[in-house]
């Protein structure tokens, strides 16, 4: 047996080397399309619609500040040079700003062009400023309303890869530091790809280090022996290392939820380590030799620990039913991690613990002895205060239902951005000074043989656009109409009041001939090649998912009542719409995934216990923590979104672990011939103590997420930590009462 333990440690050494090798090949990824629900009809429609145009997020906005105003010759010269050099950056198709744009101007000798901003002629600055700030094409788009910020609009290649995004951002950051600008703010797809992947790497590293330090400190506080801390932390560390190495070996990329993995390994590692070590020490305290103690521990605790591993994995695997790819990946990876952690820690403790005596692993203290007294008092409390416990439970259940009714899905994009980081500062800057980032698309379909750029179709589009401008969060609207508005304004000296569609079809026909002669036109990205479809591209402020949905319903009702569907039909589409639908799917899939998981785990319990009463006792206390979590989300007005939804699988896994250990221990004592009360008392004394100790460690382990810069991770940490308290009290208070109610001694 000793040689088998040495062989296992040798295998662990080899696996450690392999895992370290694969660790350096681990990949992180971020793409907004990952968050789009698979199979959603609106997403499928948009993918098909956009084939005739281009994606609505292939841009970078670079805003440059000058607090005294941008109309300064030195500043404008530098900014213009920056614009020109930005056009040479890799993986972009163009770079545009006001310093290089020109107004078309009709003269008796033909059409010419004049600069929008006369960079080299400061005497024109006052006139330029007045004209630009009256032009809705530019205000909130290329220049702020107070003229203290100006933007370079960079178009990137469609669907830029992670490598392309990182190269582009590296070159752009190197370029901007060459200029003495007061402030530079960047927003767009490539920026998100680079910065959020950096956040993921940072989150995994920080959560791993802090979780390790905190868990080690708590282990020492409980056992007061550094050897026990070393044994416990080495087992958990190996589990995490093997898990990450396994993910890398199979080519699985880590997404924005990856910061939870170290904490989840702590869930399994701490719970298993506490239960096995506590049982081992209890058996050693009864006078058993180390090898006999570990054999009996693995026999009595091993099966229950394995079942908790399986049920926890099932809880995470339920996330596979979600249409959201990052959540699916998180569920699969977490299930793999739970199973990996169990086998690694089980084998490690089996090989290591018998090498130490009881006094090597624990130093008896008043604090440790406190738990024996506490569990004895808890046992007496559940015996004497049944009515109080049941009435309080009923009251809490009703309160939970009230809280659940308050759950909302009004999440904002900024709630997923890292706290205190430049990317978040830049996002908020564009929200304040410009038109934000959230894209909304309106698909335009000409009807009854018309083209989408026929005059009567454009008039119907213009009606909708004028209506859209009545919504305060919408500050930027672009469509093929802008071409004809610009030509009409040109025909009337570029006066702001003339930036509109022509009044007559004769004027329109003349403008159309001019537009067709132009070598390149915005129509290429706003009008399909067959001229049957067009798009109205909108950017709006981050006002929240539920607010956006309300606006969209109002818009749809308006165009159905005020436009002619025999001429044109509209449909709201775009990545913003699909991303917003995610919350709805998350909410629905949360129930669709958890209910089957609960049923599957109940069936496993039925097979394990072969007693319907124990299955019922198992099920009810594990529903309470889920209700409690949902109620907290509702009462605290926390918007339900992708990151927050994972909390239910985590809570389910934790709650079932403790209940399984409790009922398994109770069943063992009953098989040894103990009466119900004696079995309950013994279970509370041994397993209850291990449950409390593991819950304390897990409570603080999840609070590690308070150090996260990812807001949803912070919320998950708080929710799970608070719910842990409720879960352990359900097991310690409700389970004994239900056991007494359903299970009686034969003589009774």
What does the domain layout of the chain look like in residue ranges?
Answer: 2-32+195-414+580-742, 50-194, 430-576
User: What CATH topology corresponds to 2-32+195-414+580-742?
Assistant: Multidrug efflux transporter AcrB transmembrane fold (1.20.1640)
Contact status, residue 478 vs residue 56, Cβ threshold 8 Å: no
Residue 392 has pLDDT above 70, yes or no: yes
pLDDT at 13 over 90: yes
Angle at 209 between CA 206 and CA 213, to 5 degrees: 135
Higher-pLDDT residue of 370, 123: 123
- Cβ neighbours of residue 51 closer than 8 Å, sequence gap 6 or more: none
Q: Global pTM?
A: 0.77
Reduced to 3 states (helix: H, G, I; strand: E, B; else coil), residue 189 is helix
Return the closest-CA partner of residue 56 out of 538, 448, 493, 421: 538
What is the pLDDT confidence band of residue 567, given thresholds at 50, 70 and 90? very high
Q: What's the pLDDT band for 443 if we cut at 50, 70, 90?
A: very high
Instruction: Encode pLDDT of 613-648 as tens digits.
Output: 888 888 888 888 888 888 888 898 888 776 677 777
Residue 594 in this model has a pLDDT that exceeds 70? no
Residues 248 and 26 sit within 8 Å (Cβ to Cβ) = yes
Of all residues in the chain, the percent with pLDDT exceeding 90 is 24
Distance separating alpha carbons of residues 83 and 121, to the nearest angstrom: 19
Burial 277-308 (b: 16+ CB within 10 A, else e): bbbbbbbbeeebebeebbbbbbebbbebbbbb
Tell me: pLDDT of 571 over 90: yes
Query: How does pLDDT run across 294-334, given as a tens digit for each residue?
Result: 888 888 777 778 887 887 788 777 777 766 777 778 888 88
């Amino acid at each position: 047996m000793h040689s088998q333990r040495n062989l296992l440690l040798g295998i662990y050494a080899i696996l450690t080397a392999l895992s370290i090798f694969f660790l350096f090949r681990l990949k992180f990824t971020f793409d907004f399309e990952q968050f789009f629900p698979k199979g959603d009809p609106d997403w499928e429609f948009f993918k098909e619609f956009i084939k005739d145009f281009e994606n609505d997020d292939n841009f970078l906005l670079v805003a440059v500040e000058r607090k005294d105003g941008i109309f300064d010759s030195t500043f404008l010269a530098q900014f213009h040079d920056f614009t020109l050099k930005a056009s040479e950056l890799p993986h972009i198709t163009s770079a545009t700003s006001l310093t290089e744009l020109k107004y078309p101007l009709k003269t008796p000798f033909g059409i010419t062009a004049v600069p929008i901003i006369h960079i080299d002629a400061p005497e024109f600055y006052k006139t330029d400023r007045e004209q630009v700030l009256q032009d809705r094409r530019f205000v909130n788009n290329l220049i702020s309303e107070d003229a203290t910020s100006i933007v370079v609009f960079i178009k990137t290649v469609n669907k830029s890869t992670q490598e392309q995004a990182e190269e582009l951002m590296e070159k752009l950051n190197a370029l901007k530091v060459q200029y003495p600008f007061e402030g530079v703010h960047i927003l767009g797809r490539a920026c998100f790809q680079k910065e959020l992947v950096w956040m993921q790497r940072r989150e995994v590293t920080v959560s791993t280090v802090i979780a390790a330090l905190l868990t080690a400190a708590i282990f020492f506080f409980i056992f007061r022996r550094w050897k026990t801390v070393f044994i416990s932390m080495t087992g958990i560390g190996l589990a995490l290392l093997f898990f990450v190495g396994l993910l890398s070996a199979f080519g699985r990329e880590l997404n924005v939820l990856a910061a939870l993995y170290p904490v989840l390994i702590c869930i399994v590692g701490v719970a298993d380590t506490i239960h096995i070590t506590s049982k081992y020490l209890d058996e050693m305290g009864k006078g058993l030799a180390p090898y006999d103690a570990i054999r009996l521990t693995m026999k009595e605790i091993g099966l229950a620990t394995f079942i908790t591993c399986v049920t926890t994995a099932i809880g995470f695997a339920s996330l596979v039913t979600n249409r959201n790819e990052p959540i699916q990946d998180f569920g699969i990876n977490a299930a793999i991690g739970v199973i990996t952690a169990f086998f690694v820690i089980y084998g490690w403790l089996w090989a290591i613990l018998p090498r130490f005596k009881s006094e090597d692993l624990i130093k008896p203290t008043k604090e440790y002895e406190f738990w024996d007294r506490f569990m004895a008092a808890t046992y007496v409390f559940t015996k004497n205060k049944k009515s109080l416990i049941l009435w309080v439970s009923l009251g809490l259940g009703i309160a939970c239902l009230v809280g659940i009714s308050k759950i909302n899905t009004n999440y904002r994009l900024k709630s997923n951005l890292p706290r205190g980081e430049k990317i978040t500062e830049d996002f908020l800057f564009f929200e304040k000074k410009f038109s934000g980032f959230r894209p909304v698309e309106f698909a335009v379909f000409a009807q009854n043989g018309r083209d989408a750029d026929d005059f009567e179709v454009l008039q119907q589009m213009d009606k909708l656009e004028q209506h859209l401008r009545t919504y305060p969060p919408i500050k930027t609207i672009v469509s093929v109409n802008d071409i004809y508005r610009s030509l009409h304004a040109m025909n009337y000296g570029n006066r702001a009041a003339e930036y509109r569609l022509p009044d007559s079809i004769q004027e329109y026909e003349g403008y159309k001939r001019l537009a067709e002669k132009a070598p390149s036109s915005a129509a290429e990205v706003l009008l399909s090649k067959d001229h049957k479809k067009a798009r109205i591209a909108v950017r709006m402020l981050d006002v929240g998912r539920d607010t956006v949905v309300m606006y969209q319903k109002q818009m749809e009702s308006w165009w159905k009542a005020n436009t002619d569907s025999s001429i044109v039909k509209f449909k709201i589409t775009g990545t913003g719409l699909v991303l917003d639908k995610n919350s709805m799917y998350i909410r629905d899939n949360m129930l669709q995934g958890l209910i089957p998981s609960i049923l599957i785990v109940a069936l496993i319990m039925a097979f394990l216990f072969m007693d319907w009463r124990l299955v019922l006792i198992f099920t009810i206390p594990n529903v309470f923590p889920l209700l409690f979590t949902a109620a907290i989300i509702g009462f605290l007005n926390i918007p339900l979104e992708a990151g927050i939804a994972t909390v239910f699988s985590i809570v389910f896994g934790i709650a079932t672990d403790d209940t399984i250990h409790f009922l398994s221990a109770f069943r063992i004592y009953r098989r040894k011939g103990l009466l119900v009360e004696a079995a309950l008392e013994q279970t509370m004394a041994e397993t209850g103590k291990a449950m409390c100790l593991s819950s304390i460690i897990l409570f603080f382990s999840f609070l590690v997420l308070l150090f996260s810069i990812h807001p949803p991770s912070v919320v998950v940490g708080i929710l799970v930590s608070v719910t842990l308290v409720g879960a352990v009290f359900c097991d310690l208070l409700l389970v004994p009462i239900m056991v007494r109610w359903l299970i009686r001694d034969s003589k009774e």
